Amino acid sequence: MAKVATDFMKRHNWTSETPLSELAKYTEEIDNSLKDDRKVRFNAKTRFRQLGLTKEQVEVLIPIRPTGKREEGRDTVGKIAQEIVEKDYPSEKIKQISYDLGSSAPNPVAGSSRLTLLRKKLQDHGADHLKKEATKIPHITTESNKIQARRLVLDEDEGVDWPEHFLLEPVQERLEKCDFSLSPSKEDLVDVMIMLSMRPADVATLRIDKYEASDEIWYDPKYSWYCTGYSKTKEETGVGEPRPFLSMEKNPVRAREFLTWIQKAIPEKFTFLRKNKSGIVNVNPINLILAKHGITSKKLRKIGADHASRTHGGKNDSRRQRLRKLACRQVVGRDESVQRYGIMNDLPCNCSKASQKNQHIEYITKMVTDQNHPSDSTFNEQEVIRYTKKLAQIFGLDEQHAEVYTALSGENRALAKRLDDYHSQHKKLKKKVKRLEERVKWLDDNVDELLAMGHCNCSKKSINTSSESSSSE
């Protein structure tokens, strides 16, 4: 609701510079103020953006709700699939239903996702190949691919900065302190999801087991531990086939202990991890925990995959990408979405906090130096400001200190520019004086000759006097 967003903005004077940690304090209050209605929440998000907040800030204030919400009057995808199979609709009818389903989505990406879900539900109901093929709407798929390709290019260019809370060393330290005799907290759940690169839908069903040598096509002799029960499977690769186990926890036995510890707590503490009748997991409780860090549950899998690639020593981009695929339980050798998981910006995992500070100081010093010499500059002012704020966070300074330093740095650059301008003007004046001196010398040397030639009606004395006067000016 737009009124709720306007009231909160007026009451707290939020701006695009307000820290995410400050906004996270009001997430639950705003959630209680909004109705459990998709349209109301969408309007509130839109209003926050209109009033100047960034997309990341809005997602902290109004976290992403669990999927499964639908427009009023539209049947669930599962019910549509069931009706298609039971009434044995012809391909033309299925294509029309699919077109309406995909076109009613807010964007082509969401529309393509709906059609993919419809095909999965049809498969669950035993539909034949022709019925599943009839659900494909080429122009929706094409537009979705274009949008996602553009997003991937932007992600690769800019990368994603992790909250310091989820860097490799802090996560490892928290996992080492876990006590299996105690009931896990939601924070423990988040860390284990990162460790095992799990989707929320994976937590309740994932299994980690040791397998004997096999002639099956899925078996890789380099691995003896495998995973089953992961949420996403593809028909052409074999539904539920075991996939090699790899995670940031190198000991598979201990990794399985962590998984079992979390799964035993699901009936009492993490009931939201159980799928509903539509096969959907409620991710909202996890997103509320993550809101103060400015991320959502979909980022946890990416963080875990990258941590796994670092832990297992990927020496080049190709090797790291393969390790990410294994950590995400994807088929190695196929072009999967895991390429999006290598966009996380991070310092080397073996750096201490002191060395991280020194690296940031050296980096920012270089940028400020380059700013004072524009001809050699490879960084722009926005990058200086961004890394200054990051340095302030590392040293434990607040946002206000970072802004003060940024302002002073800006004044310093302005003064340096003025000094350069004065220096340039001084050089120009020196050149003018030198030219005048050369003219006076030439006249002094040639005045007699000029008088003799009759080009001048004045005496040598008057010419010298005139030249001296001109020089003094």
Alpha helices in 239-297 (DSSP H): 252-264, 284-290
CA atoms within 13 A on the CB side of 416: 13
- 194-208, 313-327, 365-379: segment of lowest average pLDDT: 365-379
CA distances, 47 to each of 8, 65, 350, 470 (Å): 11, 18, 43, 70
Q: What pLDDT, on a 0 to 100 scale, did the predictor assign at position 43?
A: 80
Residue whose pair of structure tokens reads 């069903």 in the numeric block: 205
| Token pair in block for residue 43 | 């309007």
Residue 22 has pLDDT above 70, yes or no: yes
Residue whose pair of structure tokens reads 């002191």 in the numeric block: 354
Q: What is the pLDDT of residues 263-288, one digit of tens each?
A: 999 999 999 999 887 678 888 899 88
Supply the CATH classification number for the domain 164-345.
1.10.443
Residue 134 has pLDDT above 80, yes or no: yes
> Between the ranges 216-220, 349-353, 388-392, where is the mean pLDDT highest?
216-220
User: pLDDT band at 379, cuts 50/70/90?
Assistant: very low
Longest CA–CA span in the chain (Å) reads 121
Write down the mean pLDDT value for the chain: 77
- State the Cα–Cα distance between residues 63 and 102, nearest whole angstrom: 24
Strands (E), 151-281: 160-161, 207-210, 225-228, 243-244
CA distances, 249 to each of 165, 227, 246 (Å): 18, 14, 8
Which bin fits 157, alpha (ψ -120 to 50), beta or left (φ > 0)? alpha
- State the Cα–Cα distance between residues 100 and 93, nearest whole angstrom: 11
User: pLDDT band at 66, cuts 50/70/90?
Assistant: very low
Mean pLDDT confidence for 387-409? 57
Residue 120 has pLDDT above 70, yes or no: yes
- State the Cα–Cα distance between residues 392 and 401, nearest whole angstrom: 7
- 55-64, 152-161, 323-332: segment of lowest average pLDDT: 152-161
CB neighbour list of residue 293: distance below 8 Å, 6 or more residues apart: 20, 24, 163, 165, 166
Q: Are 456 and 450 in contact (CB under 8 A)?
A: yes
Domain-wise residue ranges, the chain: 2-61, 77-158, 164-345, 353-473
Mean pLDDT confidence for 29-43? 76
Alpha carbon distance, N-terminus to C-terminus of the chain:
74
pTM across the whole model: 0.53
| Token pair in block for residue 250 | 């190198």
- State the Cα–Cα distance between residues 1 and 42, nearest whole angstrom: 8
Q: Are 103 and 71 in contact (CB under 8 A)?
A: no
Q: Hey, what amino acid is at 2?
A: A
**Can you say how many angstroms the Cα of residue 44 is from the centroid of all Cα atoms in its chain?**
23
